[in-house]
Amino acid sequence: MKSPLLFLRRSLTALCLVLPASSLAQEGDAPETPGQTPGQPQPQAAGKAPEADFPPANKVLEGFRKIVSTSDGAPGLYTLYVRDKDQQIYAEVPKDFAKQRHFIALTVASGEAYAGLQAGDYYVYWRQFDKRLALVQPNLEMRSTGDQESKDSVQRLFTDRVLLDVPIVTVIPKGGPVIDLDALLVEQASKFFGPQANGIQKLFTLKTVKSFPQNIEVGIEVPMANGQLRTLHYSISNIVANKEYKPRVADERVGYFVTNYNDLGKFEEDQTAVRYINRWHLEKADPSLKLSPPKEPIVFYIEHTTPVRYRRWVADGLLMWNDAFERVGLVNAIEVRFQDSKSGAHMDKDPEDVRHNFIRWLSNGAGTAIGPSRTNPETGQILDADIILTDGWIRHWWTQYNKLLPQLAMEGFDAQTLSWLEEHPEWDPRLRLASPVEREQILADRAQQQGRSLGGHPLASLDSTLLGDQEFDGLSGRVSQVNGLCMAANCKTHGLAAMRMQLDILAAEQGEAESGEGDGKKEDEQVIDGIPEAFIGPLLADLVAHEVGHTLGLRHNFKGSSILGLEEINSESTKGARPFAGSVMDYLPVNIRVAAGACQGDYAMVGIGPYDIWAIEYGYSFENDLKPILQRSSEKELRFATDEDTWGPDPLARRYDFSSDPLEYARDQMMLVKELRSKLLDKYVKDGDTWARARRGYLLTLATQLNSVSMMANWVGGAHVYRHKKGDPNSGAPIEVVPADQQRRALAFVVENALDSNSFGLTPEILQYLTIDKWWDAGNMSEDPTWPVHDRILGIQASALTAVMNPTTLQRIYDNEFRLPPDQDALTLPELLDTLSAAVWKQLDGLDAGMTFTARKPLIQSFDRNLQREYLERLTDLVLTSSSFTAAYKPISDLANMNLREIQRRIDAVKEHDGLDPYSRSHLQESSRRIAKALEAGLILEARNR
């Protein structure tokens, strides 16, 4: 029999893990002393050893030179000593180290494509154990602001963690202990930078050694485990309690990154989980003024590696946010400085130094932008931010569409759907849209990872130690959230590619020999890197503003694109006059309008949106009562949905969509697709061009088409989800089923633009030209130079079927039927399956007795035969669905069974038609046989489950 005490202990532990996630803690309800966990005494040295126990300092430091980095010779946080002959570096730790909290900020400064990206951080203190110093990470997840008994208990149960330790080599008379900094930063680099830094302690070169009163900067070049030379930069600073900073409680109606902990001294369910928003400490220089400069502005330095031709646009994106800060009474809250190698301006500042915020430019050929920050994990105060911009989205290397297409098709899939795909790989767009030569490897890799948590959803494999690897880096596994990965540049890359394609076609139509010699633009129009500056400049400013928003504490808002209709976006009243979206924190596509006679609106945001202004008002307002600000959340322009909402049922919580009616946008995108395809061969590919250009251009249009189909599939079974709270003005229920008419129109779009093979615009003429360049260094030698048309089109169609027939979507449709009163119109499961069946098997209707078909002109074309087989397999899987998958399995299975029987009836009525061609006859006969087998298997499974 299990011990009652053990059972109680486990129950209490489980209770701690499932405490409610909401918090009503008030502003200022912070830890008792910033820099100290409530209830815990400051760490004390574990018995300081006398100086006589160590070799004399003058002997140990013989041959070393002292590092002085300040102009006035002021001592640094650590006193650093370097011996140049062997690159040895010692550090004197402050003698009062036991009372200090330090922040270790990590950056890979060189040696990789994303060098300069913040790599993680540690909040630590030193603790002495005899002749060794241990670097200790305090427990911040569990705290107590309750009675003393609660504080004592939390301190005893949730202890701190030793990260590593180093020997004390000597003690400075009347000073502090001296440690071997190499032993810390080189020999134990893998503790900070991960396993790739294992075994690097033999060869290293000191690249940066600086010591300032509040921080030290040490950069060490080392060969990594694979031999690649990298510079690992450590910025170690002293965290001093800021008594003027008041933490601000987070609210789910407005999207901030948060610093969170569990307060086990509270017993109200809405007070145990404490969340503070991450924000900068800004104060008015003169509080009596309605508009005042800040005491200390947020200063960003634009790194000297940023091309001069783009610097003003980077600055414009950065300074867009000053409009929001003026609304709360701060003038020029953000300032910009230009680092310049020619003039020497600000070249003394290291971008990795936590005292300085940088916008860094990486010439790596990749299309990425990311804006992480570093935060005091006690309070949520932002300490440092660095944005990286890469040149790839502007340079526009041709996207590998065999990688992009699966990503577009998977957009919005939740963990339940991913689990289904694990069990049914033939449904998986990542497999169906992969290159044929890659599929076996994908299946082999998956077999080695059987039973992946959450079906392999990114949430199940987060590692926030190093940033920039995974979609939700920085959001989980940390006390303070940060922006660990951002894909806002992705849609900019695709939009830029489409614009380049249009410009090339326009140049050809105007008789230009080369697109770079005019590109159909006015002679006095500024062109940079082959693109009109009036186009690329605002796009860059838009992208920078997005990343700056992250560094101010803001998360993504994927409902930001939904405030205006497409006509209003592209109107003279909006163009240049106001932002066309509610938030720059959305992933906003490039606004390229195709409709004849329509006004071409702004290609990108011309400022931050109303949601952004409102979010800054909540985060940085000096008002004591924030309730009136929050109660505006139900306003259409202020609606908020973030990353985790994208795998929910709300179709407006979507990346890469646009306008308040995305169906209108999707139709406009298909007009663009048809326009580009119509001129692919004669206008886009010019004399002297490789014909691989035709293939790249077609794949670009195919990606646009798939994104539109995937976007509209989200509306089927959808429900709008709102974050407003009871009592907020003009707010209704938090869940609102998408009107049936909108769902039907979205489903019709999917049918028309994915299941109808004519929508792909393929002809024998076009297929003759869709080839590849044959270069070994291009990495495409495994690709078929004759584009595998049937495999690729079926992959798109199979992905569309997955989007509208996966059990999660079917379950949502079934649940929505019950959410609505019986007298209210609703899209039902029978209607969905009937609509799909009618579209897929349309050739079986209207077949007259006198009609005849041949193998060259069959009744059912090859694309349609493939689609019909695919559809039968999907229905069969639903018939054989395990009862453990979902409560809706039985009606889904029964309806799939009924649809199979109806299809079989229709097939049997025409399969012996005298005029059938051999392809269609054999296909129909085999389809009927497969249906019979599926129905038989369904009966057997049902009998077993009884």
The series of mean pLDDT values per 10 residues for the chain, 946 residues long, is 39 37 39 41 48 88 94 93 95 94 95 90 95 96 94 95 96 95 92 85 89 96 91 95 94 97 90 96 97 98 96 98 98 98 95 96 89 95 96 76 86 90 92 86 81 70 69 84 89 89 88 50 76 94 98 98 95 95 97 81 96 98 96 96 94 96 95 95 93 94 96 97 94 96 98 97 95 77 85 96 96 96 96 97 89 95 97 94 74 94 95 92 96 88 68
B/e letters for 493-524, b = 16+ CB within 10 Å, e = fewer, are bbbbbbbbbbbbbbbbeeebeebeebbbbeee
pLDDT attached to residue 597: 67
Q: Look up residue 101 and give its DSSP letter.
A: E
pLDDT attached to residue 784: 83
Dihedral over alpha carbons 302, 304, 308, 311 (to 10 degrees): -10
Within 391-428, strands assigned E span none
Question: What tokens appear for 107 in the block?
Answer: 């950056």
d(CA 80, CA 70): 13
- Beta-bridged to residue 357, according to DSSP, are 300
- Tell which residue, 797, 663, 637, 796, has the closest CA to residue 718: 663
pLDDT attached to residue 395: 75
pLDDT attached to residue 464: 64
Phi and psi for 279 in degrees, rounded to 5?
Answer: -155, 165
d(CA 427, CA 894): 20
- Tell which residue, 123, 119, 118, has the closest CA to residue 103: 123
pLDDT attached to residue 778: 66
DSSP code per residue over 465-514? TSSSSSTTTTTSSSSB-------HHHHHHHHHHHHHHHHHHHHHHTT-SS
Question: What tokens appear for 772 in the block?
Answer: 């590849």
In Å, the largest CA–CA distance within the chain is: 110
- Tell which residue, 488, 609, 616, 610, has the closest CA to residue 552: 616
Q: Look up residue 371 and give its DSSP letter.
A: -
Residue with tokens 């149960």: 157
pLDDT attached to residue 29: 45
pLDDT attached to residue 225: 87
d(CA 819, CA 908): 39
pLDDT attached to residue 279: 98
% helix, strand, coil for the chain, step of 5: 40, 15, 45
Question: Exposed/middle/buried for 241, CB within 10 Å: 0-12, 13-18, 19+?
Answer: middle
